[in-house]
Structure formats: structure tokens, C-alpha cells
Amino acid sequence: MNLHKYVSGKKVLNQNAHHLMQNGAAFHVHYWGAVPEHYDTTLHKHSFLEICYVIDGKGTYLENECEYALHKDIIFFSRPEVLHQIRSKEGLALVYVAFELIESESSEEWINMIDIVKRCQQTVMESGEDTAANLLWKALLMESIKSQNSFFKSMLANLSASLIISLLQMFAPQANGQVNISENSSSLLAQAKLFIKDNLANDLKLSHVANHLHISGRHLSRIFVSELGINFSKFVQKERMKRAATLLKTTDLSIKDIARETGFMDVHYFTRVFTDTMREPPGRFRTLYMDSEKIIYTDE
């Protein structure tokens, strides 16, 4: 792969792929790098994780007085607070990403996994061209230089998060079971969302939904924040407003009945919340949109 072709994608990634969320993990990316000719660095350390992939060339990686040979398809990572150095006389074609886990937005399983990665002793690994991490990195570089469309940022974010997770799995194979737990969080979130949408007329407390899923309220709260970026109460209110908007536009139910259908026993409180959310009171909203072909509410 000719890295010169993809250097411009580095800037795009730094602009669009710096806060990533997937499978119960939230990552802050400090920087993405793509250097066609990477030579010597000074001996230094970071407060975060940095993972590098050698596209081509030869060199050496020094860490804790150990020296490792670098060549095509080597992936290596620098642990936080560990002195390290890259050396190359002929220049390395190198891509890299520096990041850290946002613990306040991530599950306990991911916090534990990162701790395992930080203690990993094998920090240099040879990786075949058809491994998931290599293919994801190449796909990310290819997408980064394409013309931007409405799905561009979402595509980059998803690929970036998948790449980081794949890289972490390489250096913490014993933590794969913990990643599976994180994946189960996505399944739990899907079940929670279905339960909420099917029971909007009822009192939807965090503890009620958590009990239905046989998990703790704290665990469910973490899942909503880590995977959706909003808390449980915010999600429930948004779903109530979506349902209310649809009922106003597609039925002749009274506002009082719609309030009850969406979990509001007090019609005045429903009116206040709806007005704050939609910037129009329910009655006027119905008048404006009753004859509209647009029957799906969006909060954009």
C-alpha cells in the first residue's frame, strides 16, 4: 500500500474521529498519524496508549532497554509511562493512533480490559496482511480520503472504534471474554429500548426496566451513557415525545388521551414538556403537521 496516497486522510481522521463509542467502550483519540518516511525519535513516554502499524520499511523499537526489529506488517504499542524510541535509517512507512479509554463513559469490563493491556508484556507482534486489524486500518485510510457524504462521519467513527477494539484484542487475548460481555451490553440495550417503546404509557423507572432485564440499575445506566451518549431518563423522554408527535399527526385522539398514552398523568405537565421539546404546544403542532406527509418525528 502506497502510504503517500493516504497522508491527507490523517487530517480528516483527526477532525472527525476523536470521540468514539462502541460496545460499551468510549475512547478519546489524541491523534492519528500517517508518515511515509518515519525516522528516529527521541527517547520519550506518553500518558496514554499508542499503537503503530508498519506498512513498509525496516527499523527498531526500543522499550525498557529491550530492542525489537521492525518490518512490514509489524504492529507494536507503547504503554503509558514507559520510555520508548523508534529508530530507522531508511525510514518506516508508519500509521499510528494514540488514545485512552474514557472510564466515566465505559463499562467496568472495558476498564478491566485496558488494565490488562497496560500490563501486557508482549508489545511487538507480527500480523498478517489479512488480519482484522490490518484490514480495518487499510479500510479506514481508504474511507478517509473519499468524498464526504451524509454517512462519512458515521462511517469513520464506526471503522475507527472497530479498529481500536481489534488492536486491543491482539494485545490482550486473555480479555476476549470481557469483550464478549461488552457485546452483550448491545443486546441488553436493544432489549431495553424495545421494552421502553412498548410501555410508554406506563411508569418507566430505571429500576423497573433493569429488573425486567435481570441486571442492576447501575449497569443499565452505564449501558445507556456508554452506547448512546445520553442517560436513561433523557432517552425515555425523547421516546415519549416521538410517540406523542406521531399520535398528534396521525390520530384524532385528544391531547389528554395522548398524554396518557405517553406516560403523562398530568396533561399540563405533558403540554409543558412537549412545548419545550418541539417548540410548539401540542394543539398548534397538530394544526401545523396534520396534513403533512411527514409522519415520522425527528429531533434534528
β-strands 92-101, 124-126 pairing: unpaired
Residues contacting 269, CB < 8 A, separation 6+: none
pLDDT value, residue 184:
61
In a domain, 299, yes or no: no
In a domain, 171, yes or no: yes
pLDDT value, residue 235:
94
Same domain as 285, residue 146: no
* Cα gap 72→94, rounded to integer Å: 9
Same domain as 260, residue 149: no
Query: CB count, 10 Å around CB of 100?
Result: 16
Same domain as 281, residue 145: no
pLDDT value, residue 292:
58
> Given 175, 194, 216, which residue is the final one in a domain?
175
Q: Give me 267's grid cell.
A: 396533561
Same domain as 248, residue 143: no
52-88: per-residue pLDDT in tens? 999 999 999 999 889 999 999 999 999 999 999 999 9
Residues contacting 298, CB < 8 A, separation 6+: none
> Given 126, 149, 175, which residue is the final one in a domain?
175
In a domain, 135, yes or no: yes
Indicate the DSSP class of residue 175.
G
Same domain as 67, residue 154: yes
- The model carries a pTM of 0.60
Interval 208-226 mean pLDDT: 87
Interval 261-280 mean pLDDT: 93
In a domain, 25, yes or no: yes
Interval 140-159 mean pLDDT: 88
Higher pLDDT, 171 or 270: 270
- Please, which contacts does 258-265 make with residues 24 or more away whose CB atoms are closer than 8 Å? 258/282, 260/201, 261/200, 261/201, 262/200, 262/201, 263/200, 263/201, 263/202, 263/203, 263/204, 264/240
* Cα gap 22→160, rounded to integer Å: 10
Task: Kindly report the CATH number assigned to the domain that includes residue 164.
Answer: 2.60.120.10
In a domain, 13, yes or no: yes
Same domain as 246, residue 155: no
On the 0-12 / 13-18 / 19+ scale of CB atoms within 10 A, 131 is middle
The chain-wide mean pLDDT, for the chain, equals 87
Higher pLDDT, 19 or 296: 19
DSSP 184-241: HHHHHHHHHHHHHHHTTTS---HHHHHHHHTS-HHHHHHHHHHHHSS-HHHHHHHHHH
201-215: per-residue pLDDT in tens? 999 999 989 888 888
Task: Answer whether residue 295 shows pLDDT above 80.
Answer: no
Same domain as 268, residue 167: no
Query: CB count, 10 Å around CB of 71?
Result: 12
Same domain as 21, residue 151: yes
Indicate the DSSP class of residue 44.
B
Residue 24: band (very low, low, confident or very high) from pLDDT cuts 50, 70, 90: confident
- How many domains does the chain contain in total? 2
Domain span at residue 249 reads 234-289
In a domain, 167, yes or no: yes
The interaxial angle of helices 232-250 and 176-198, nearest 10 deg, is 40
In a domain, 119, yes or no: yes
Interval 239-258 mean pLDDT: 93
Interval 228-239 mean pLDDT: 93
pLDDT value, residue 219:
87
> Given 132, 155, 175, which residue is the final one in a domain?
175
* Cα gap 141→77, rounded to integer Å: 19
Task: Kindly report the CATH number assigned to the domain that includes residue 249.
Answer: 1.10.10.60
Same domain as 169, residue 238: no
Same domain as 272, residue 160: no
β-strands 59-63, 74-78 pairing: unpaired
79-131: per-residue pLDDT in tens? 999 999 999 999 999 999 999 999 998 988 899 889 989 988 889 999 877 78
In a domain, 193, yes or no: no
Same domain as 129, residue 245: no
169-189: per-residue pLDDT in tens? 888 765 544 444 444 677 788
Same domain as 61, residue 164: yes
% the chain with pLDDT above 90: 57
